[in-house]
Structure 1
Amino acid sequence: MTVTPTVHDLVAIGRVGVDLYPLQHNVTLDEVHTFEKFLGGSAANVTVAAARHGRHAAIVSATAADAFGRFVHRELLQLGVDDAYVQTITDGPPTPVTFCEFFPPDHFPRWFYRYPTAPDLLITPESLPLQAIRDARVYWSNLTGLSQEPSRAAHVAAREERGRAPLTVLDLDYLSVFWRDRDHSAGAARDEARTQALEALRHATVAVGNLEECELVTGESDPRQAARALLTAGVDLAVVTLGSRGVLAMTPDEVVGVDAFPVTVVNALGAGDAFGGALIHGLLAGWDLERTLHFATVAGALVARRRACSTAMPTTAEVQALLSDVEVADGAI
């Protein structure tokens, strides 16, 4: 009997780990008494967010053969994400942890314990599930995976296998700490990240990033100019998130702006990943761009008012309920 390979709605490649978040706000880490642990990592969060909307999501990544690695696998499965492509590396660095501080509404410093590297940066071209990447309805990668070898080579092999298929997404997820080392100044690290991003954009059809990340890649600080530059770099859809100012999206044929949804922020760190998972859901559903952006913006807002990231990702029903409340309040229905 021939077994038909599973075609995923989403295959994402990138970071997984453990978030250790404080249970006290407005104090520095040295004053925190208690923490709670959650599944973490941007790629993991995006897959969880998509799974909450009923999407069949898988992640390509790696952990160590340690307790936190077992936790990552267990949480992925419990949160509805296929962990079949998450390798266990037995002779490498430990599964990474991330600490943060909560100073709402807009200050959430993070410390990444991923030195000198992390298992998810040790994936190789030979270890990739190439058919799953090629066949996925959405393929999501981010800039961090291009910061080190052998992960960079794996990402290049994945995009060569994928080609420029529809809904090939590059998340311009730039964190300087992942690019700087003893051989890179801050300027050299930014230049290297920009070079890698521009090459990856040639193979992507969708780019997503906040304004600072888009400026890093394009040199443009104006959202419209940055979006236009991303289109010129090769994508068909550029999405520029603007925090409290909302989001701007541009295709060759339209420009759509959506205001931010007002929310009392508890932790803003997972909002972008919730936005990404909801964006995927809207694009796969064939919604128009404005509806998709409204949905994704509300999904991000829901997570921003919660403590966690991965386990805080909203369901479709939660997002729709909040959207309906807003429509009623505005007299739209």
Structure 2
Amino acid sequence: MGRIGVDLYPLATGVPLAEAETFGRFLGGSPANVAVAAARLGRRVALITRTGADPFGGYLRAELRGFGVDDRWVGEVADLPTPLTFCEMFPPDRFPLYFYRLPKAPDLEIAVEELDLDAVRAARVFWMTGTGLSEEPSREATLAALDARGGAGAGAGAGAGAGPASGAGTTVFDLDWRPMLWREKPGPYYERALARATVAVGNLEECEIATGESEPYAAARALLAAGVELAVVKQGPEGVLAVHRDGTVAQVAPVAVRVVNGLGAGDAFGGALVHGLLAGWPLAQVMRYANAAGSIVAGRLACSSAMPFAAEVEEVVGRAGGE
């Protein structure tokens, strides 16, 4: 549930936008990318969002269907344009984003009365993001969806043997901190969402926004204390740390890759995380698999269309010596 838009990326790295002459058009928006990533891995996925009633909105719905993502809950907003996002690519670690989401993004116009709460309850995994909490009515709708899921505690399982979650009733809060999209302090809304989620995922900056803690283990402990059962702290070149409430810890090193565009790596990680949670894998196996998926997309230009298939991820995991 959440953000969608059109990504317009220069077709060459290291070129400032002012000098770029050719662009590729791609489906974008973090939750939409995560949906595509999970679908590429064979999962049955639907997206709750809204677009403008314009050609770009039609393009996004067609792209979702082409990627195998159910678009029945993708609505239109007549008076708001479908968002555009431009990026600049200066590998290995600088990828500025420019969001065109004014006067307001249609995906922030999701209202409670539009939600199919029976479908939200029935999903084995529900994924939502911090950006969905940034404005009304999306904020109220996102919290209502979390309430429909039954709050934290549903679907948590053993971290070591049967996997970090049972797959049933897993609710993932992607911290997804985009400061340019907020007009208020996010703290109170993040707190409410963490109390209702079972899994929290974020990089160090996002964890600090959510908890006030920037040291990885301290951030993970703070996320657990806020209500989730599994805390996943992405550390970029330091890999990923995952801590389950039952005491299981997985610290996984990064996969070496020649970076082309790092923007979609976290979304590939997210789709693979969902896949591993549904499979009931041990925590370390889930993290190795998600790391591998992220590394593949970091080495490619696009985001959504770059999401890997299972065979590609398994090959990278095998080369890295994982399961």
| TM bracket (short chain) | over 0.9
Tell me the residue number matched to 1:137.
Answer: 124
In the alignment, is the contact (CA less than 8 A) between 2:15 and 2:88 conserved in 1?
A: yes
Tell me the residue number matched to 1:96.
Answer: 83
How far apart, in 1, do the equivalents of 2:93 and 2:210 lie? Answer: 24
Tell me the residue number matched to 2:178.
Answer: 175
What's the offset of the Cα at 1:163? 1.2
How far apart, in 1, do the equivalents of 2:258 and 2:108 lie? Answer: 35
Structure 2 counterpart of 1:118, one-letter code: A
1:307 aligns with 2:301: yes
Secondary structure in 2 aligned to 1:269?
A: helix
What's the offset of the Cα at 1:116? 2.3
What's the offset of the Cα at 1:256? 1.1
How far apart, in 2, do the equivalents of 1:326 and 1:101 lie? Answer: 30
Tell me the residue number matched to 1:41.
Answer: 29
1:265 aligns with 2:259: yes
Structure 1 counterpart of 2:287, one-letter code: L
Secondary structure in 2 aligned to 1:248?
A: strand
Paired residue total:
306
What's the offset of the Cα at 1:24? 2.1
Tell me the residue number matched to 1:231.
Answer: 224
Structure 1 counterpart of 2:100, one-letter code: Y
How far apart, in 2, do the equivalents of 1:150 and 1:233 lie? Answer: 24
CA-to-aligned-CA distance 1:162-187 (integer Å, 9 cap, x gap): 1123311100001001103xxxxxxx
What's the offset of the Cα at 1:250? 0.3
CA-to-aligned-CA distance 1:69-126 (integer Å, 9 cap, x gap): 0000000000110000000122x21000000001000000000000121110001000
What's the offset of the Cα at 1:326? 2.9
In the alignment, is the contact (CA less than 8 A) between 1:24 and 1:33 conserved in 2?
A: no
What's the offset of the Cα at 1:156? 1.7
How far apart, in 2, do the equivalents of 1:295 and 1:102 lie? Answer: 26
Which of 242, 258, 264 pairs up with 1:249? 242
How far apart, in 2, do the equivalents of 1:53 and 1:291 lie? Answer: 15
How far apart, in 1, do the equivalents of 2:318 and 2:215 lie? Answer: 32
Which of 192, 203, 226 pairs up with 1:210? 203
Structure 2: tracts of 5 or more residues without a match: 156-169
How far apart, in 1, do the equivalents of 2:113 and 2:284 lie? Answer: 40
Structure 1 counterpart of 2:172, one-letter code: V
Tell me the residue number matched to 1:53.
Answer: 41
Structure 2 counterpart of 1:231, one-letter code: L
How far apart, in 2, do the equivalents of 1:243 and 1:198 lie? Answer: 24
In the alignment, is the contact (CA less than 8 A) between 1:246 and 1:257 conserved in 2?
A: yes
Secondary structure in 2 aligned to 1:239?
A: strand
Secondary structure in 2 aligned to 1:106?
A: coil
Which of 112, 130, 138 pairs up with 2:99? 112
In percent, how many aligned pairs have the same letter? Answer: 56
What's the offset of the Cα at 1:284? 0.4
CA-to-aligned-CA distance 1:222-252 (integer Å, 9 cap, x gap): 1000000000000000000000110000012
Structure 2 counterpart of 1:69, one-letter code: G
In the alignment, is the contact (CA less than 8 A) between 1:97 and 1:114 conserved in 2?
A: yes
Q: What TM-score results when the alignment is normalised by the length of structure 1? A: 0.90
How far apart, in 2, do the equivalents of 1:326 and 1:270 lie? Answer: 21
Q: What TM-score results when the alignment is normalised by the length of structure 2? A: 0.93
How far apart, in 2, do the equivalents of 1:160 and 1:319 lie? Answer: 34
